[in-house]
């Protein structure tokens, strides 16, 4: 599991930052990529990475402001010409379907794959399979805006081979069944429960990716005990009133949230074009005074999401 930033700017594209788009690479886990927001020219950004559009099977939109969705029609169209023929699902606030379908219809665009929509009208679990759950909660922005919490399900514990050998359980295909936790009957008549030969489960990882927002209790719920929190930082220290007026957050507010929620790593994005060079570095220094493990990210930055030992994470 890796996070790759395709765009980290706010409002409009700049020389050094494109508008918002974040890729969650799940190639090892489910051979797919999930995008969170698709700002203008996201497909151009993808050309500068190793990402394959055909691997994108889910797109989660936080809200319908242009800097978060204007790249969507182009990406969907290009995916058809780049070997993408598997279905793709778009999650987002009500209106995202109209935006996409009108764009495709007036341009006469035909897709080579099935497009599904899940327009969100509330909060809670929006996706689940055998490996992941995705939760959505409302944030506090000028229009309907969501934050997403991606929860990886726990991995089964390792098979304790030494214990199997000590109990004279023969190796072979039988071990695969025991690794799956199944109960098997040995040739000598013994009945063996695979669960008795598995080590502790490896807790899954948690990633929270928030849209534009003022500070709100829901943001903390989404971020609680997350391995990685992706949080906007449109404004800097001392600009709290301005951030509130424009329905955004400061770097300090994001850092305080990360500290309260016991986040492992805070990644600040949605950086205003006002902050370049040393000023962007200062955003990071300010935030680190509150929460040490903070990074102000740049376009094309990549961050692996590592496993670690922890207690059961809250599932919101």
- Asked whether residue 187 falls in the same domain as residue 73, the answer is no
User: Binding-site residues, please?
Assistant: 63, 65, 67-68, 141, 212, 270
Same domain, residue pair 168 and 130: no
CA dist., res. 20 & res. 272, Å (int): 11
Residue 255 in domain: yes
Residue 213 lies in a domain: yes
The structure tokens 């606030």 sit at 93
Of 197, 219, 254, which one is at a domain's C-terminal end?
Answer: 197
Q: What's the total number of domains in the chain?
A: 2
Write the secondary structure of the chain as one string of H (helix), E (strand) and C (coil). Answer: CEEEEEECECCCCCCCCCECEEEEEEHHHHCEEEEECCCCCHHHHHCCCCCCHHHEEEEECCCCCHHHHCCHHHHHHHHHHCCCCCCEEEEEECCHHHHHHHHHHHCCCCCCCCEEEEEECCCEEEEECCCEEEEEEECCCCCCCEEEEEEECCECCCECHHHHHHCCCCCCHHHHHHHCCCEEECCCCCEEEHHHHECCCECCCEEEEECCCCCCHHHHHHHCCCCEEEEECCECCCCHHHHHHCCCCEHHHHHHHHHHCCCCEEEEECECCCCCCHHHHHHHHHHHCCCCCEEECCCCCEEECCCCCCCCCCCC
Q: Is residue 313 part of a domain?
A: no
Q: Do the domain assignments include residue 112?
A: yes
pLDDT digits (tens, 9 = 90+) for 237-289: 999 999 999 999 999 999 999 999 999 999 999 999 888 888 889 999 999 99
Please check whether residues 127 and 249 belong to one and the same domain. yes
Say what the pLDDT of residue 309 is.
60
Handedness of CA 123, 125, 126, 132 (dihedral sign): positive
Domain end marker among 197, 222, 255 = 197
Q: Which two tokens stand for residue 61?
A: 């939109």
Report if residue 299 sits inside a domain: yes
The more confidently predicted of residues 312 and 21 is 21
- Count the neighbouring beta carbons within 10 Å of the beta carbon of residue 147: 28
Kindly state whether residues 105 and 179 are assigned to the same domain.
Answer: no
Q: Assess contact for 267 and 298: CB atoms under 8 A.
A: no
Query: Tokens in use for 236?
Result: 């800097």
The answer as to whether 316 is a domain residue is no
Domain-embedded: residue 311: no
Residue 244: domain span: 2-155+202-304
pLDDT at residue 314 is higher than 80: no
Do 207 and 288 belong together in one domain?
Answer: yes
Same domain, 151 and 295: yes
Residue-wise pLDDT tens digits, 97-143: 999 999 999 999 999 999 999 999 999 999 999 999 999 999 999 99
This prediction has a pTM of: 0.89
Kindly state whether residues 141 and 166 are assigned to the same domain.
Answer: no
pLDDT single digits (tens) 141-163: 999 999 999 999 998 888 889 98
- Do 67 and 43 fall into the same domain? yes
Residue 261 is predicted with a pLDDT of 98
- 82 and 169 together in one domain: no
Q: Are residues 59 and 114 in the same domain?
A: yes
Q: Are 229 and 122 part of one and the same domain?
A: yes
Same domain, 107 and 229: yes
CATH number at residue 241: 3.60.15.10
What are 11's two structure tokens? 């409002």
The answer for residues whose C-beta is within 8 angstroms of residue 193's C-beta and 6 or more apart is 183
Quote the pLDDT of residue 83. Answer: 78
Q: Would you say residue 199 has pLDDT above 90?
A: no
**Residue 312 pLDDT class (50, 70, 90 cuts):** very low
Residues labelled catalytic? 67
**Is residue 314, in this structure, part of any structural domain at all?**
no
Pairing verdict, β 124-128 and 228-232: unpaired
């Amino acid at each position: 599991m890796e996070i790759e930033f395709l765009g980290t700017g706010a409002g409009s594209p700049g020389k050094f930052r494109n508008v918002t788009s974040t890729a969650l690479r799940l190639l090892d886990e489910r051979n797919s990529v999930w995008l969170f927001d698709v700002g203008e020219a996201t497909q151009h950004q993808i050309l500068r990475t190793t990402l394959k559009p055909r691997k994108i099977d889910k797109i989660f939109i936080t809200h319908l402001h242009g800097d978060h969705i204007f790249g969507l029609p182009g990406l969907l169209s290009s995916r058809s010409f780049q070997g993408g023929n598997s279905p793709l699902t778009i999650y987002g606030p009500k209106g995202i379907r109209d935006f996409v379908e009108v764009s495709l219809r007036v341009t006469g665009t035909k897709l080579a794959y099935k497009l599904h929509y899940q327009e969100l009208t509330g909060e809670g679990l929006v996706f689940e399979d055998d490996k992941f759950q995705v939760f959505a909660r409302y944030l506090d922005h000028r229009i309907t805006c969501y934050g997403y919490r991606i929860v990886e399900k726990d991995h089964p514990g390792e098979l304790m081979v030494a214990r199997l050998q000590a109990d004279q359980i023969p190796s072979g295909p039988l071990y695969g069944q025991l690794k799956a936790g199944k109960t098997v009957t040995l040739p000598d008549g013994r009945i063996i429960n695979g669960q008795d030969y598995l080590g502790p489960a490896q807790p899954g990882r948690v990633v929270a990716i928030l849209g534009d927002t003022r500070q709100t209790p829901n943001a903390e719920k989404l971020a609680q005990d997350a391995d990685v929190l992706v949080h906007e930082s449109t404004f800097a220290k001392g600009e709290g009133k301005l951030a509130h007026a424009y329905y955004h957050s400061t770097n300090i507010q994001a850092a305080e949230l990360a500290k309260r929620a016991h986040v492992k790593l805070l990644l600040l994005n949605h950086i205003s074009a006002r902050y370049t060079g040393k000023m962007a570095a200062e955003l990071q220094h300010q935030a680190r005074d509150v929460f040490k493990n903070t990074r102000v990210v740049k376009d094309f930055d990549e961050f692996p999401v590592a496993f670690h030992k922890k207690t059961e994470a809250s599932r919101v």
